[in-house]
Amino acid sequence: MRARAFWATAPGQGEIRAETLPPRGPEEALLRALASGVSRGTERLVLHGRVPESQWQAMRAPLQEGEFPFPVKYGYAAVAVVEEGPAALRGRRVFCLHPHQDRFLAPAGMCSPVPDAVPDHRAVLAANMETALNIVWDAAPIPGERVLVIGAGVVGLLCAWLIGRFPGTCVTVQDTDPARRVVAEALGARFALPEQAPPEQELILHASASPEGLRAALTLAAMEARIVEASWYGDRSVSLPLGEAFHARRLTLRSSQVGSVSPAMRGRRSHAERMALALSLLADPVLDALVGPRVPFEALPACMAALLAPPPPGHPAPLCPVITYGAAAPAAPEQGLTRACSA
């Protein structure tokens, strides 16, 4: 069985490589890709070789091939149909933490069935939703709280959407890009530019991956507020003004990371149960605001750097680009990506 996969080969560069799949093992499934999502923050670090050496092991995707910095086959948001494997999975759509590849083998235990109510293009958000769910478990929101989410990327917006379902909770999303207002408000949250952000926030989730955003969180926090740091900085150092009001206001700063189930649910929910819940939450059509543009798999070598780069002035950055596979794929990238890919 022949397969093709996207590999990052040098800073800002990649190529599609052909390979021959080994024989399927008894505990494996053979999958045909339908769609895969691009995690812009993490995959930008990978494509540009900015994963720090101290984090090479921690940053490995579950089914990654190759080694950091290059060449490496990376990704963790594939939606596929099971062509061969256990009877319970055969013919079903599943989500799998696999790189961008048109056919692949994966342990059957890593294949999470996609609910019928969740279309392929939205199912690619499963890993992001799982991360957001874990962050919310770490944050432990209280109904009626004033909540600020700093950073309107996919994970930040999903966190805002989840917490907005708590009764009486006022959620504001802060971002430097005014174009994010439309998406934030579509998900039921308020929106603010940094200079408009409301003070005295009782719970702050920081997901902007910028030191300025985390410093703003310290400034905007109310007395005894909780700040949950959900960003990943790669090889960058972050300095914080902990000598100012940090102690006087008795602020709590804690990290959140999806590799472990939040202590709030550990022992009560397995990784598989957390993923199943994340997939079920993607049934809401309002979350379509987070996905796109759609790009054919064959166009990835020309398009990946543009998908991950900051957008031109006046153009919003894509949130979660969707890679499409097979005959159903569009003939060309959507939403103006043709020009960006050829630039």
pLDDT of residue 284: 98
The rounded radius of gyration (Å) of the Cα atoms in the chain is 20
| CA 334 remoteness from chain centre | 20
At residue 329, the 3 state secondary structure works out as coil
Q: Is residue 315 part of a domain?
A: yes
Which residues are CB-neighbours of 239 under 8 A, at least 6 positions away? 211
Q: Are residues 113 and 177 in the same domain?
A: no
Do 295 and 321 touch, CB atoms closer than 8 A? yes
pLDDT of residue 212: 96
Q: Are residues 103 and 207 in the same domain?
A: no
The model's pTM is 0.91
DSSP 316: P
Q: Is residue 158 part of a domain?
A: yes
In degrees and rounded to multiples of 5, residue 176 shows phi and psi of -80, -15
- Tell me the DSSP string of 118-160: S-HHHHTTHHHHHHHHHHHHHH---TT-EEEEE--SHHHHHHH
Q: Are residues 10 and 84 in the same domain?
A: yes
Q: How far apart are CA 192 and CA 20, in angstroms?
A: 50
Q: Are residues 113 and 192 in the same domain?
A: no
The token duo for 102 is: 């048109």
- Tell me the per-residue pLDDT of 144-193, one tens digit each, with 9 for 90 and over: 999 999 999 999 999 999 999 999 999 999 999 999 999 999 999 999 99
Q: Are residues 173 and 217 in the same domain?
A: yes
Q: How far apart are CA 81 and CA 117, in angstroms?
A: 16
Q: CA triplet 110, 111, 115: central angle to 5 degrees?
A: 140
At residue 262, the 3 state secondary structure works out as coil
Q: Are residues 17 and 79 in the same domain?
A: yes
Q: Are residues 238 and 338 in the same domain?
A: no
Q: Is residue 289 part of a domain?
A: yes
At residue 115, the 3 state secondary structure works out as coil
- Tell me the per-residue pLDDT of 87-140, one tens digit each, with 9 for 90 and over: 999 999 999 999 999 999 999 999 999 999 999 999 999 999 999 999 999 999
Q: Is residue 270 part of a domain?
A: no
pLDDT of residue 332: 41
The count of other CB atoms within 10 Å of the CB of residue 332 is 12
Do 306 and 318 touch, CB atoms closer than 8 A? no
Range of the domain at 119: 2-125+282-342
At residue 279, the 3 state secondary structure works out as helix
Number of domains in the chain: 2
% of the chain with per-residue pLDDT over 90: 85
CATH number for the domain that contains residue 97: 3.90.180.10
The token duo for 343 is: 């630039």
Q: Is residue 276 part of a domain?
A: no
The token duo for 253 is: 């700063």
Residue where a domain terminates, one of 255, 273, 291: 255
Q: Are residues 250 and 132 in the same domain?
A: yes
Q: Are residues 104 and 140 in the same domain?
A: no
Q: Are residues 219 and 170 in the same domain?
A: yes
What confidence tier does 341 reach under pLDDT thresholds 50, 70, 90?
low
Q: Are residues 12 and 112 in the same domain?
A: yes
In degrees and rounded to multiples of 5, residue 50 shows phi and psi of -105, 15
What confidence tier does 327 reach under pLDDT thresholds 50, 70, 90?
low
CATH number for the domain that contains residue 152: 3.40.50.720
